[in-house]
Amino acid sequence: MRRIAGFTALEWIILIVMAGLLFTVAGHIMGGGKPSGLVYAALGETGSLIEVDGAVVGYQAAADPGALDSASFTVRLFLGDMGGVDMDRATVTFSDRSDATVLPQGAEGDAPPYWTIADRLNRPPFQTADGDNRLEPGESFVIRVLFPHPVGAGETFTIALTPPGGLQESIQRTVPPRVTPVTVL
């Protein structure tokens, strides 16, 4: 009986697995520094992405019952975001047909126009809302924007929230013909 020397299928599989392990170990030893690649780049991009979650609510102006003088909405990190957003460095811009105004961050009782974090909410399943102004996974912030001037029925306004290093999230709404003390936009 003649014996033929060569690799069997099992020997080839073992050889390929061992070569793969060798290259993986060598890559970890030789490679270092910041990871690169499409997945890591995508994760880095989501670090400052926010989205509006739920309804936008407008509040009736005391001086003009047919107009709104403020609005509130809830923001959270984009789904799957692993980073956080420092809201103290965020920019809020209010614009309508007359002009655009960059609003300062303020506190309840300040003279309008300004924006503020009105409330901090837990997001299931994390329940991790804390007292700082950094929007993190598991948190939602209720943002209240006090307009520079009342916006009447039929008028359109835009609120743009831009996190530091992130993409702008814009909300454009038209005030309905009938304004109530709390109007869902």
Domain count across the chain: 1
Average pLDDT over residues 132-160: 93
Q: Is residue 19 part of a domain?
A: no
User: Average pLDDT over the chain, rounded to whole?
Assistant: 86
- Whether residue 6 lies inside any domain: the answer is no
Report the Cα 116 to chain-centroid distance in Å: 16
pLDDT of residue 132: 85
Q: What is the pLDDT of residue 105?
A: 94
Mean pLDDT of 4-30: 85
d(CA 173, CA 170): 10
DSSP codes joined into one string, 9-76: HHHHHHHHHHHHHHHHHHHHHH--SS--SHHHHHHHHGGG-EEE-S--EEEE-SS-TTEEEEEEEEEE
Mean pLDDT on 65-85? 86
Mean pLDDT along residues 107-112: 89
- What CATH number is given to the structural domain containing 105? 2.60.40
Q: Is residue 40 part of a domain?
A: no
Residue bearing the bigger pLDDT, 13 or 131: 13
Say if residue 80's pLDDT is above 70: no
Structural domain boundaries, residue 116: 48-184
